Chains A and B, each alone.
Chain A
Amino acid sequence: MKNESNFIINDVEEAILKLPINYSAVLRLKYSQGYTNEEISKILKISEGNVCQRISRGKKKLAEILAKEGEKSYE
């Protein structure tokens, strides 16, 4: 699949782009920018527990989106 800038996007990237902003923001700060949970909690002004929760829920949501996309491609 291609996006507006003619990037070729794979399934995983497409699924990441579909994540709700409150999950994707935390996941991008951690896994792309390399911030620690403590630093993310200060940046977003949320508790460290909340950061962990969002990471965990973000992963779950990402798995759900990928599973759905997988089902579609088999149909």
Chain B
Amino acid sequence: MNKYIIDDDFLYDHMKSAENIILENLPKEYELSHKFSKRFERRMNKLIRQERRSPFIKSFISHGKRVAIIFLIFISIAFAITMSVEAYRVRFFEVVIEVWEEFTLIIFKNKENIDDGKLIPVNPTYIPDNFKIIEHEINSYEQFIYWQNDEGIEIMFEQAKITANSIITDTEGIDIEELLIGEQKIIYFTNKNINQIYWNDSNYIYAIISEYDKNELLKMVESIINNKKK
């Protein structure tokens, strides 16, 4: 039987000293013999340079980017309208992916109400070993499923109806891969050890996000794509 009562007071009493032990056990700077890659050094130097900029320059750069994005969205919309006139009666929506130095903007636009009905869930038929559902939220527009394994690693799956929407995700210094699963194009990247996969069909945008093995996540994606075809 446990002699401790694990409540907030207990944790406030002990967490600080446990954290001090963790910090004390970190190797001292002179003990570190690790040689950082040139890419890492470049990114760190870039970060340091960014931090040294004056608030005025920071604000100028930030606003400059916003103006550039708005301009690009405007151009994209103008292009989409032209396309939709030419492709008369063909359902049209467009996914624009803008890769910027510090983030990626994924924009979904549709000119029609493509689907007024409720969301029809398409779930993966392949789940990696030892993962169990811990949370499932579903409504008319989107569903989220979270799985977790014994080690506490989580996988998040999202299926959402495409509306006039956008996703902004932090991809600074990250290479984005475009992969093909069958005929389905998917976007894959890793940031801060978190794998992120996005793709879409004519009605929905899908996302799988997890720190778990990339190949296992791709198998989940494949099972969702195949399940959708049925």
> Which residues of A line the B interface, CB within 8 A?
3-5, 7, 9, 12-13, 16-17, 20-23, 27-28, 30-32, 53, 57, 59-60, 62-63, 66-67, 70
CB–CB B152/A12 < 8 A = no
Could you say which of B2, B17, B134, B154 contacts A13, with CB atoms under 8 Å apart? B17
Within 8 A of A (CB), among B1-55: 1-4, 6-8, 10-12, 14-19, 21-22, 24-25
- Flag whether B151 is at the interface (Cβ < 8 A): yes
CB distance from B114 to the nearest CB of A (A): 28
A37 to chain B, nearest CB (A): 12
Chain A residues whose C-beta falls within 8 Å of the C-beta of B152 in the assembled complex: 20-23, 57
25 contacts between A and B (CB under 8 A): A3-B25, A5-B21, A5-B25, A7-B21, A12-B14, A13-B18, A16-B14, A17-B18, A20-B152, A21-B152, A22-B153, A23-B152, A27-B11, A27-B15, A28-B18, A30-B11, A32-B15, A59-B6, A63-B2, A63-B6, A66-B4, A67-B1, A67-B2, A70-B1, A70-B2
* Chain B residues near A32 (CB-CB < 8 A): 15-16, 18-19
